[in-house]
Amino acid sequence: MLSRSCIVFVLVIVGSSFSHHLSSALLNLTLPGQHPDPEAVAHEVHRKVNASLSRRQMLSYTTNDQSSTCPTGNPIDDCWRCDPNWQLNRQRLADCTIGFGQHALGGKGGRYYVVTDSTDHDVVNPNPGTLRYAVIQTEPLWIVFATNMLIELKEELIFNSYKTVDGRGANVHIIGGGCITLQYITNVIIHNIHIHHCHEAGDTNIRSSPTHYGWRAKSDGDGISIFGSRDIWIDHCSFSHCKDGLVDVVMGSTGITVSNNYFSHHNEVMLLGHSDDYLPDSGMQVTIAFNIFGKKLIQRMPRCRRGYIHVVNNDFTMWEMYAIGGSGNPTINSQGNRYIAPFNRNAKEVTKRLDTSEEKWRDWNWRSSGDVMVNGAFFVASGEGVEEKYEKAYSVEPKSAAYIDQLTLNAGVLGRRHNNLGKWTTRNGSGPDYEANSSDFEDYDDYSGCQKTYSDNYVPLTVLTILFIFLFLNGTANYVLY
């Protein structure tokens, strides 16, 4: 009897200890790729912005030329666009990321894959030359486009790790079913792509790698869905008119940068975090920088659940309900943004705590520093002593929103403001002589770069556009790897 009692006693002690450690682990979740010091990452963003703006100012003083296009003051663009021969080393782009997504390699070091076929006929056995065939491969690939393309997806486009989709030198639109899914992968860069009119799809088999396809339930219709993934960079894209969110980051994703994009014509713009109760999202870290939140947006720019969100040097050009919302105690660090409130006097507040009493949210760490409030906009901060900690820790201040016009000058897809990006060229200057007629799609603000209006005639118009592109491609249907 004594021995049995001792055994029970030991089990109770062990069980109690295990329970304590499990509880501690749940409260201190660390995701792969999560930075141990998010404040240092925010500080480094400011340092790079200040350095780029200083270089631009020094150049204007020495040359007496205020109209110089390079350097721009935007540290991402200055990293590659100031090289007149950037197209000879496209993979240089992977060295230009800032913020939490700074380690996103994309397809750096991999071969070049040229998309020559805009179709998406078979989602289980995609044709070589299509975008779908490229993104499911297991090897690192730097994916470029032979010419302007309208790619209408039948189903969600499921990526594999280590891919860059580089739309520079072409005018590429992705629309249709599901749109882009980044699920349980790492190291993806999506650059210079129009993504719009994404709708629900699914309840079918879809291939996700050369050796696997499986049943996929109905997708939400997000522009880009980032699900349990890390080291992701979304840059210089234009988003509008999707069924659900334009960009969603959920289910323990971290190491994300969303930069230099143009968002318009949408209700729920960006969701960060799966739910208030999903603890792994406490390790979510997202940088939102140099974006323009443009025409006809309503809410969620972003809407945050848990995590650390750095919102820096963006231009919010009105909203209908609120700009930044949250629940589940996220940290929101808003610095150097311009917030232009709507004329509705009941919607002037930038921030919104959702489904939470003030007694609970008053200790949440929501801070505004260097932001400019226009037309009666106001930011309701919360948390104690955070501002002092920033000032003591760092001597570099966030750049004022007075520089917003300069920093966001080229937000969205490059070329929509008549920037000539030239043609697709391999790193050694050889390769197919594909011209990029970037003026074929204009009026982006009204319809994501296409010269048409979204209406009930959308389907026949899409068919005509695809027919036009098919004729323009002149029957080319082979893919090229370098």
Over residues 419-464, the pLDDT tens digits come to 444 455 544 444 333 222 233 333 333 333 333 333 333 334 343 3
Amino acid at 286: V
Question: How many separate domains does the chain show?
Answer: 1
In a domain, 353, yes or no: yes
Report yes or no: 251 and 94 within 8 Å, Cβ to Cβ: no
The answer to whether position 288 is within a domain reads: yes
Residue 31: CB atoms within 10 A of its CB come to 19
Report cis status (omega within 30 of 0) of the bond before 302.
yes
pLDDT tens digits along 27-78: 445 788 889 999 999 999 999 999 999 888 787 666 655 556 688 899 999 9
For residue 464, the surrounding DSSP H or E stretch is helix 458-473
Provide the pLDDT for residue 66: 54
Looking at every residue in the chain, the average pLDDT score rounds to: 81
Q: What CATH code is carried by the domain that includes residue 377?
A: 2.160.20.10
Residue 152 falls inside a structural domain: yes
Asked if 230 and 253 touch (Cβ cutoff 8 Å), the reply is yes
Domain coverage including residue 145: 38-407
- Asked, for residue 162, whether it belongs to a domain, the answer is yes
Residue 97 lies in a domain: yes
Considering only CA atoms, give the Rg of the chain: 23
Contacts of residue 59, Cβ cutoff 8 Å, sequence gap at least 6: 65, 68, 71
Residue 478 forms part of a structural domain: no
Catalytic residues: 300
Contact between 468 and 148 (Cβ < 8 Å): no
Residue 472 lies in a domain: no
Tell me the C-alpha distance between 337 and 289, whole Å: 9
- B/e letters for 127-155, b = 16+ CB within 10 Å, e = fewer, are eebbbbbbbbbeebbbbbbbbbbbbbbbb
Pairing verdict, β 303-305 and 157-158: unpaired
Structure tokens belonging to residue 103: 């380690």
Segment 344-369, tens digit of pLDDT: 999 999 999 998 899 899 999 999 99
